[in-house]
Structure formats: C-alpha cells, structure tokens
Amino acid sequence: MSILAAGYQGRLDRRRYFERTLGTLAALGILYWLGINFAKSPSQFFQASLIGLSNGVLYALIALGYTLVYGIIELINFAHGDLFMLGAVFSANFMSIWFGKNHSGVVGWGFFFACLLAVMTFCGGLNVVIERFAYRRLRRAPKLAPLITAVGVSFILQFIGLRWNGSGQKTWNSMLPKGAIEISNVKIPYTTILSFVITVPLLLLMSWIVTRTRQGKAMRATAQDQDAARLMGINVNRTISFTFALGGALAGAAGLLFQQTRGLTSYNLGYQLGLIAFTSAVMGGIGNLQGAVLGALLIGLIQGLNDGLPIGLGQQWSQTVVFSILILLMAFKPTGLLGKTVTEKV
C-alpha cells in the first residue's frame, strides 16, 4: 500500500518537475526571442508593441461584453462579435453616408463624438432587446438552449450586416487626421493615440460603474447569487438588462473605433474580432473584468510583436501563435490568468 502510494507520489513529482522545466524553458525561449529582437532594432520593437497594444485596447472593449454577460448569467454570448460588426457598419453609415463627415475639423470631431454616443446607444439598446426576446425566457433552461440561441442570434445579426453592408468588404474615408508623431524613430499615428484616448476613459468609467455605483453593486450581487439578490430587493431582470446595455455600448464604441481607424467594414468582422475578443476573455479568466482587459492587451501585444518584429514567424502565423499560447495557458491554468478557482462555496 505504502509502496504503491510512494510510487504514485513519485510519478506525480516527476510530472510536476517535467512540467515546470518545460514551462521555464518556454519562458526563457520567449525572453530570448524578445531580447534578440530588442537588441536588433529597439525602435521596431517599440513600434510593434505599440501597434499591438492599440489593437489590444480594441479587443478589450469587445472582450468586456463577453465577460460581463458570462459573469452575470453564465452565457457565452456568441452574438456579441456580430453586435460589434453592426456597430462598425452603423458608424460607417452615420459618418460617411448620413452626415458625410470625412474630414477632420471642429465639425468633424463634433460628429465623431455624436456618432460615439449614437453607436453606443444603438448597440446597447440592441443588446437589451436581444436579451429580452431571445435569452430571458431561457434563463432557467438547460445551458445548451441559450447557447444555441446565441449562435442563432449571431447568424441573424450577420445577415442584417450582409444586407446593410453588402457581401464584400467596404472601405471608407476616415474623419480622423492622418499622419503621426515621431519620437526617436517610433512612429505614433494619431489614430493610435486616439484609440487610447477614447478607450482608456471608457474602461475607467466602466470599472467605476461596476465597483462604485448602486447599479454596479446590484450587478455583482446578481452575478454571485440571483435568488439572494432578489431577496435583497434587487430587480434582477433590470440588472441583467443593464449589463447587456453596458456590454453592448462598449461593443458599439469598438465598432466606431475600428471603422474609423481601419477605414473598412465587412459583414463577417464579428467572426474574426469576436473570436479574438472571446479568446481574450477566456485567457484572462472569463467573468473577470480586469482579466478580460489583461487578456486582450496580451493578445494584442503577442500579435503585434509576432507580426512586426524583424525575427519572428510573421503574420501568417499570428493566429497560430496566439492560440498555441492560449492552449498552453489553459493546460496549466484552466481558469485563466485572473480567474478564480471556485472553492468558496461551503
């Protein structure tokens, strides 16, 4: 008996040792790779990081919508990426077709911020309507039912996008000023600066709402225990609607930012970026808000470095690298970077 146990223990130890060695080697490899690239061309290194991070903040806006909804009703809202796509198409129409604001200037900026408000309202509202009619009745149904409904909603939104935007990719003139600031060989485009200027306050506002306001308190309580929240006098339905509104609004803001900084829209944008954003949320620990932002920044950074560094695998391997890292991370830490293992239920 004791010999058996010892043997088992030995196997465990050997495995753990093997895993740790492997992990350390991988980390050293990555450090080495970063190191030689940095030595070769520091400016290119910073350039690639910057591009990566500016993509990362965009992913963060979308990832938060996944993680907010998962946190409160444990639903992977597959339609969320497509909501972002509709936000982008809405913004393109708002800026270029309805108001024709393709040039910078005071009026252009005015319309940009008007569009930001409009698209956040549009996507937030749409998300609330989707929850009300598609998901609410399924709240006590087996988990698979709302999941498949979400896939269905995703297709519906995609086909709305297809009708609205056409089957091909459309390019748009951006209102944003072109050009860049150059600091010691690192080019910082105005659009990149703008991405940060818009996103960071939105993320801070969102964190303030969740941690400091009454509505945020209701959200956190509902996420932890719906029935207990009801017994506190919290209107659970309204709280869930509010969560969808918040997630939708962030996706809308991401839509405008994407459309204006990249100058393109396509009906299947939601699939590509949605998947990356969802991955960010999982990598950070789904249901955890800081985790979603961290995961998004990391994925943006990984992609940026992989695509932009002189010695690297290059763009074709971008997704492969990201998902390999995800798979590795999941194998070692299934709850994600900041995810908690659920041990607190007594």
Partner 1 sequence: MSALLEVQGLQVAYGSILAVKDVSLTVNEGEIVTLIGSNGAGKSTTLRTISGLLKPKAGTITFNGERIDGKEGHEIVAKGLCQSPEGRRIFPRMSVRENLDLGAFLRTDKAAIEVDRERVLELFPRLRERIEQKGGTMSGGEQQMLAVARAMMGAPKLLLLDEPSMGLAPVLVDMIFETIVKIREQGITILLIEQNAAAALDVADRAYVLESGTIKMSGKASDLAKDEAVTKAYLGG
- The CB-of-335 to partner 1 minimum distance in angstroms stands at 14
- The CB-of-68 to partner 1 minimum distance in angstroms stands at 16
What's the rounded Cα separation, in Å, for the pair 249 and 70?
16
- In terms of C-beta density within 10 A (0-12 exposed, 13-18 middle, 19 or more buried), how is residue 339 classed? middle
Which one, 217 or 262, has the nearer CB to partner 1? Answer: 217
Which one, 87 or 287, has the nearer CB to partner 1? Answer: 287
Across 259-275, b (16+ Cβ under 10 Å) vs e yields bbbebebbbbbbbebbe
**CB neighbours (10 Å) of residue 4?**
8
What's the rounded Cα separation, in Å, for the pair 84 and 62?
7
- The CB-of-217 to partner 1 minimum distance in angstroms stands at 7
CA distances (Å), origin 268, targets 52, 66, 220, 265: 22, 18, 33, 9
Which one, 81 or 336, has the nearer CB to partner 1? Answer: 336
- The CB-of-229 to partner 1 minimum distance in angstroms stands at 8
- The CB-of-233 to partner 1 minimum distance in angstroms stands at 4
Which one, 156 or 232, has the nearer CB to partner 1? Answer: 232
Across 294-320, b (16+ Cβ under 10 Å) vs e yields bbbbbbbbbbbbbbbbeebeeeeebee
Altogether, the residues listed in the chain come to a count of: 346
Which one, 173 or 207, has the nearer CB to partner 1? Answer: 207
Picking from 225, 226, 343, 323, the residue whose alpha carbon sits closest to that of residue 282 is: 323
- The CB-of-5 to partner 1 minimum distance in angstroms stands at 31
**Coil/strand/helix, residue 220:** helix
Dig out the tokens for 229 from the structure: 């929240």
Residue ranges that bind partner 1, judged by CB under 8 A: 214, 217-218, 220-221, 224-225, 227-236, 340, 344-346
- The CB-of-107 to partner 1 minimum distance in angstroms stands at 44
- The CB-of-267 to partner 1 minimum distance in angstroms stands at 39
Which one, 103 or 238, has the nearer CB to partner 1? Answer: 238
- The CB-of-336 to partner 1 minimum distance in angstroms stands at 16
Contacts of 247 (CB under 8 A, 6+ apart): 64, 65, 66, 68, 69, 77, 80, 127
Across 74-111, b (16+ Cβ under 10 Å) vs e yields ebbbbbbbbbbbbbbbbbbbbbbeeeebeeeeeebeeb
Which one, 39 or 344, has the nearer CB to partner 1? Answer: 344
Which one, 235 or 315, has the nearer CB to partner 1? Answer: 235
Which one, 185 or 235, has the nearer CB to partner 1? Answer: 235
Contacts of 150 (CB under 8 A, 6+ apart): 75, 76, 77, 78, 79, 134, 135
CA distances (Å), origin 256, targets 50, 81, 263, 342: 20, 14, 10, 37
